[in-house]
Structure 1
């Protein structure tokens, strides 16, 4: 009887140990797959523009093209990778530098929005000087995430996120219907002023910007 108990205890310990190994292997494998996916994305799409600036290449067929949506998502991906230890603050700041070098100018006034697209046309880098709201939202949110990942720069990142949020409400906001427009070009004298694009609907980002800025309009936009 005592021997049987010892056998069952041993079997139980083996099962627990084997289960623990399986759980660890699965979790470790998932982490490895995610890390490898990030590294593959980074090597494939993040392109150096200068010594201090990189952009996410959204071009196809070997063509080079940067877009505010891709840049914002790239900044967000990199900040999240930084939380895991896969990306450095310098990686994020290089993407940030490219955004800062390509900010939109409206009526001779530089804004904190990003020019929607830059592309290589016969060897020359051409800019489409309008904004895309979803790209600006991603950039603002990525800065907030970066502030939590690299707290020594939190004030700098959050201050810039606030400035972007303010310009979104200044240039990309329909105050009559309390919704975001598709870009700065969708002004009150155009039919596009009343268009709501699904890619601009980001309730979690709206909530995050509302908390950061204490501006009640973000709550109205979310509603």
Structure 2
């Protein structure tokens, strides 16, 4: 449940915990987009909930680089926590709340999002691929998907999320970037993300105890 202590742990006499969907926690966000040092020093860290996690994977690198030109539209395959989602994007510098549309779909334990966002036009769309590669290229749990096929079975039962970028040039100073993201609620959207955060807090190997 929101704000619950998902994983308490102890280092000597130091009692610590990982929470879920608690923007008021002293350290809150997507592990891949945060500096490790505050996590190592924190008593409590909160990872975002499922909808916020998908939104951060898609929009975090763009927000951090100041490249979001208009209000993003987020289409979810499930009913998400808007408060958590809005707080997550605000933590990365979003000035406006996104437009969120939910159309529940039967995808077993997989949850997905399609995000449409206006960004500055470029003659080299590879620039956006490079931006996301900089954010996630070394990540164990956020992977770029380059194949044409895109279906839930590719992340079902897996600890990682997949994302894909699709570029549509515009006639003016902006173009449309569409980001597809999906993950399993027991993987990147659930237990795998919680354990990942604990590993970083404890200074352990990031993938320790997380079985693909």
User: Structure 2-normalised TM-score?
Assistant: 0.27
Structure number with bigger Rg: 1
Structure with greater proportional strand content = 2
TM-score (norm 1): 0.26
More helix by share: 1
